[in-house]
Amino acid sequence: MSDTTKTQLDLELVRLAKRIEELVSTVEHLKEENRALRQRHESLSTERASLLHKTSRFARASKR
C-alpha cells in the first residue's frame, strides 16, 4: 500500500469517525426531544381529561 493510499484511507477514517460522532450527537438530541414531547403529551392529555370532566360536571349541573 502506497503512502498516498494510506493517507487517503486515514483521512477517510477520520472523516467517518467525525460523521459518526455527529450522528450520535443527533440521536441523543432527538432522544431528549422525544422524551420532552412525550412528557408534554402526557401533561396535555391529563389536562384535557380534567377539562372534559369539569365540562361534563358543569353540563349536568346546569340541567338541574
Q: What pLDDT shows up at residue 62? A: 79
The pTM is what?
Answer: 0.71
pLDDT in tens, 1-57: 888 998 999 999 999 999 999 999 999 999 999 999 999 999 999 999 999 999 998
CB burial readout 1-22, b (16+ within 10 A) else e: eeeeeeeeeeeeeeeeeeeeee
**Cα–Cα dist 45/47, whole Å:** 5
